Protein backbone atom coordinates (compact mmCIF):
# COMPACT_ATOMS: atom_id res chain seq x y z
CA UNK A 1 0.00 0.00 0.00
CA UNK A 2 2.89 2.37 0.81
CA UNK A 3 4.37 1.72 -2.62
CA UNK A 4 1.06 2.59 -4.26
CA UNK A 5 0.81 5.90 -2.32
CA UNK A 6 4.43 6.77 -3.15
CA UNK A 7 3.84 6.02 -6.83
CA UNK A 8 0.62 8.10 -6.82
CA UNK A 9 2.37 11.03 -5.11
CA UNK A 10 5.25 10.90 -7.61
CA UNK A 11 2.80 10.85 -10.51
CA UNK A 12 0.92 13.88 -9.18
CA UNK A 13 4.11 15.87 -8.58
CA UNK A 14 5.48 15.11 -12.05
CA UNK A 15 2.14 16.01 -13.66
CA UNK A 16 2.04 19.34 -11.81
CA UNK A 17 5.64 20.10 -12.81
CA UNK A 18 4.92 19.22 -16.43
CA UNK A 19 1.83 21.47 -16.48
CA UNK A 20 3.90 24.46 -15.33
CA UNK A 21 6.47 24.20 -18.11
CA UNK A 22 6.34 26.78 -20.90
CA UNK A 23 5.81 25.39 -24.39
CA UNK A 24 9.08 25.31 -26.31
CA UNK A 25 7.59 26.35 -29.64
CA UNK A 26 4.41 28.35 -29.09
CA UNK A 27 2.08 28.28 -32.09
CA UNK A 28 2.12 31.32 -34.33
CA UNK A 29 -0.70 33.67 -33.58
CA UNK A 30 -2.77 35.27 -36.29
CA UNK A 31 -4.49 37.66 -33.90
CA UNK A 32 -4.97 40.94 -35.76
CA UNK A 33 -4.58 42.91 -32.54
CA UNK A 34 -0.99 41.75 -32.11
CA UNK A 35 0.03 41.57 -35.77
CA UNK A 36 1.28 44.90 -37.06
CA UNK A 37 -0.22 46.04 -40.34
CA UNK A 38 1.99 46.01 -43.40
CA UNK A 39 3.69 49.31 -44.14
CA UNK A 40 4.12 48.69 -47.83
CA UNK A 41 2.13 49.76 -50.84
CA UNK A 42 -1.00 47.70 -51.35
CA UNK A 43 -0.78 45.49 -54.46
CA UNK A 44 -3.88 47.05 -56.03
CA UNK A 45 -2.99 50.67 -55.25
CA UNK A 46 -1.12 51.18 -58.50
CA UNK A 47 -4.08 49.80 -60.46
CA UNK A 48 -6.46 52.14 -58.60
CA UNK A 49 -4.30 55.10 -59.60
CA UNK A 50 -4.29 53.92 -63.21
CA UNK A 51 -8.10 53.66 -63.24
CA UNK A 52 -8.55 57.10 -61.72
CA UNK A 53 -6.08 58.65 -64.19
CA UNK A 54 -8.74 58.94 -66.90
CA UNK A 55 -6.59 60.82 -69.40
CA UNK A 56 -3.50 58.66 -68.69
CA UNK A 57 -1.16 61.59 -68.17
CA UNK A 58 0.46 60.04 -65.10
CA UNK A 59 -1.13 62.38 -62.59
CA UNK A 60 -4.53 62.93 -61.03
CA UNK A 61 -6.37 66.19 -61.32
CA UNK A 62 -8.94 67.23 -58.74
CA UNK A 63 -11.65 66.30 -61.24
CA UNK A 64 -10.26 62.78 -61.70
CA UNK A 65 -9.95 62.38 -57.92
CA UNK A 66 -13.70 62.98 -57.54
CA UNK A 67 -14.31 59.42 -58.77
CA UNK A 68 -12.97 58.13 -55.43
CA UNK A 69 -14.33 59.92 -52.33
CA UNK A 70 -11.30 59.02 -50.17
CA UNK A 71 -8.89 60.37 -52.74
CA UNK A 72 -10.97 63.51 -53.26
CA UNK A 73 -11.15 64.15 -49.51
CA UNK A 74 -7.38 63.72 -49.08
CA UNK A 75 -6.33 65.31 -52.35
CA UNK A 76 -4.65 68.39 -50.80
CA UNK A 77 -2.64 66.27 -48.35
CA UNK A 78 -1.58 63.88 -51.12
CA UNK A 79 -0.44 66.77 -53.34
CA UNK A 80 2.86 67.21 -51.51
CA UNK A 81 4.46 69.53 -54.05
CA UNK A 82 1.27 71.67 -54.21
CA UNK A 83 1.14 71.74 -57.99
CA UNK A 84 -2.60 71.01 -58.16
CA UNK A 85 -2.11 67.39 -59.25
CA UNK A 86 -1.21 64.13 -57.53
CA UNK A 87 1.52 62.15 -59.24
CA UNK A 88 1.61 58.37 -59.03
CA UNK A 89 4.50 58.59 -56.55
CA UNK A 90 2.56 61.05 -54.37
CA UNK A 91 -0.53 58.83 -54.59
CA UNK A 92 1.31 55.65 -53.59
CA UNK A 93 3.04 57.45 -50.73
CA UNK A 94 -0.16 59.04 -49.44
CA UNK A 95 -2.38 55.98 -49.64
CA UNK A 96 0.03 53.16 -48.78
CA UNK A 97 -1.13 50.63 -46.19
CA UNK A 98 -0.05 50.93 -42.57
CA UNK A 99 1.02 53.75 -40.31
CA UNK A 100 2.66 56.77 -41.84
75-91 tens-digit pLDDT: 999 999 999 999 999 99
Please report, for the domain that includes residue 86, its CATH number. Answer: 1.10.238.10
The answer to whether residue 10 is domain-embedded is no
The answer to whether residue 5 is domain-embedded is no
Task: Count up the domains in the chain and report the number.
Answer: 1
Could you report the per-residue pLDDT of 36-62, keeping only the tens digit for each?
Answer: 444 555 668 999 999 999 999 999 999
- DSSP assignments along 1-53, one per residue: -HHHHHHHHHHHHHHHHHHHSPPSSPPPP--TTTSPPP-S--TTHHHHHHHH-
The answer to whether residue 65 is domain-embedded is yes
The answer to whether residue 88 is domain-embedded is yes
The answer to whether residue 34 is domain-embedded is no
pTM attached to this predicted model? 0.56
The answer to whether residue 75 is domain-embedded is yes
The answer to whether residue 17 is domain-embedded is no
Amino acid sequence: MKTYIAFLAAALVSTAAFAQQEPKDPPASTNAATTPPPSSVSPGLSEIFDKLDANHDGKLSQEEAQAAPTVATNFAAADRDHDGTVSKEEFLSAFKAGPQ
